[in-house]
Structure 1
């Protein structure tokens, strides 16, 4: 596996939570009006894999890992057993390899999951679906239909979907769209430490790549300018070539510019979440409040008829504080005005979109927390 896949040693998503116990029975029967599946929309290093794993242990659920991941274009059934968490990933121990659920959708002796295209792996921030979206919709619908025909609830953990959340909401109105949100300082620090300690550039390069590929969109260009992001000087050509150029770029990138790019993408995704999420899963709060974990479980049960257990989440905010001394190559004092500019921009959006006020307030709280946490980072 390559580092670009996001599953290679040191390249998978982040959590640092407890291991997963064997599958448990979920006895809830889906009622009329409840969602017919769950789309978990997450970001890289957001602890989304841990959340997904809590659904995966339920016997009434079929939980698909990253259905937009580029590896699915070439995946063979024989490859799946080797795709397990590495000790640097921070992922929980899983009862089965990541992509096990795709095995029925891979033809014998062939490469690739049925219906998947590698173009699906690039997030987009346009206001309306692009020409490739019908194929993406058909691909996901096939996975959903095959799962529901077996009497199971489909749960998808996305990592490249937040820019297209409005598209997914329109195409799959019967699904509960849940967004995993983590404060940007903690989320950035997780990827930065992998880059710093294990020479893994993927998670630092990803925001530059996504922003560069979408910079023609007015909202993307506006946020790039607000955050003062300096994109890779490489021309935007083929997606793979541009991705490689971004990974090369971040090998010597200044820490504050890496944070600017990450924060710009975080803001864009957070705004889409405020517009279209059916449920917000607050990872900072989840690790600090057993009461919130119980409340979240009840909300999922009410909307989707299944009851995942969210107990056992570690306090990732406290871990960010403890790891402050490990953050090298970045001065947190330079980040305060960047966070302030982002906060002002978010505040200016209230009333200008259909965003829910409660979501906007949570986003503002996350930015304030990011300023507090990053203040401790020194060279």
Structure 2
């Protein structure tokens, strides 16, 4: 049965994973208040002028250009001196992997502020963000609601990060992966493998220091950090999701798109239309990355081979990884990775 229309809906994803499109479809529903990136650090200093400037047409992120500014839903929640009521910069990436049983009254009060603001207008609150995959258990325990997780081919997702480079230095999306991994509980071995160290100061200082330190880091390091965060995030999120949407299929399979829309309506009572969804063309290019080598090393460093092969929702992640082989590669690297996860060795003939 559909859940109460006042129950919150959370859309969890990584960066460059079609979350803006899904948020946009929720936003188009008159009975919904859909918050865009409600854990983004820019909310700490948000002003009416900044809201007006932040538009898809000027973002450079290849988002559909029509519609209101991204952050219009926050206009009524601003403090007189700027910033969204209750938001603190630490909420953006600090404790990205927030344990479900950890108490954080300030964080909880902020989320409740958004939910209650929508409810006062008689609307369903939707919170769509790229910073909550590791926090889904914490959010579910405190706010209930429906939790939708978006997942994408990891190689194409990372290549989307990389394609936005305008100079030979990391993009914002890459820098966030470095910062998250350097501070993540459970990611210590992976961070050491890449030489990452937890920074000091506020988030802007840490991102700046990371950019300065890693401005010439090779592409393989960027991919390895991304993959570690990708795997850790989905291992945390998939078992707690009410619905997992494969965004690669959403734009290329009309029947799948209708099925996902129906599932959302059953879970939430909100009717969406994904008929205009189109899967972006693959990011090609011969980047100097040995995907197989980096993936195997990361999975080993994270000590997650048994978790990835256990029966259950984690197999969704497993299938996405196996299917993520770039066309220019042979099947051998991923067959070796598959063998690694299964705890066996391929013979010379099989390889």
Partner residue, 1:375: 329
Shift of 1:165: 1.3
Does the C-alpha gap of structure 1 residues 177 and 262 become closer, same or farther in structure 2, counting only changes over 3 Å? same
Unaligned 5+ segments in structure 1 are: 1-29
Distance 1:256 1:195 in 2: 15
Deviations 1:243-278 (A, max 9, x none): 211122332011111100000000011101222111
Question: Which of these residues, 205, 215, 219, is aligned with residue 175 of structure 2?
Answer: 205
Contact conserved, 2:44 with 2:83, CA < 8 A, in 1? yes
Contact conserved, 2:251 with 2:279, CA < 8 A, in 1? yes
Matched, 1:349 2:314: no
The TM-score with structure 1 as length reference comes to 0.79
Matched, 1:337 2:293: yes
Question: Which of these residues, 100, 106, 122, is aligned with residue 135 of structure 1?
Answer: 106
The TM-score with structure 2 as length reference comes to 0.85
Contact conserved, 2:153 with 2:320, CA < 8 A, in 1? yes
Matched, 1:95 2:52: no
Does the C-alpha gap of structure 1 residues 113 and 139 become closer, same or farther in structure 2, counting only changes over 3 Å? same
Contact conserved, 1:343 with 1:364, CA < 8 A, in 2? no
Please give the residue correspondences for 1:1-379 in structure 2 after superposition, counting only pairs within 5 Å.
31=2, 36-85=7-56, 86=58, 88-107=60-79, 109-122=80-93, 123-131=95-103, 133-173=104-144, 175-196=145-166, 201-214=171-184, 217=185, 219-222=186-189, 224=190, 229-232=193-196, 236-240=199-203, 241-316=205-280, 319-320=281-282, 323-325=283-285, 330-332=287-289, 334-340=290-296, 347-349=305-307, 357=312, 359-373=313-327, 375=329
Deviations 1:157-194 (A, max 9, x none): 11111111111111111x10111111110110011111
Distance 1:363 1:35 in 2: 31
Deviations 1:310-337 (A, max 9, x none): 1222223xx22xx313x5xx324x1112
Distance 2:29 2:35 in 1: 13
Contact conserved, 1:35 with 1:304, CA < 8 A, in 2? no
Deviations 1:82-137 (A, max 9, x none): 11013631111241001100111114x42111111111111422534545x22111
- Number of aligned residue pairs: 325
Contact conserved, 2:9 with 2:126, CA < 8 A, in 1? yes
Shift of 1:42: 1.4
Unaligned 5+ segments in structure 2 are: 331-351
Shift of 1:149: 2.3
Q: Secondary structure at the match of 1:371?
A: coil
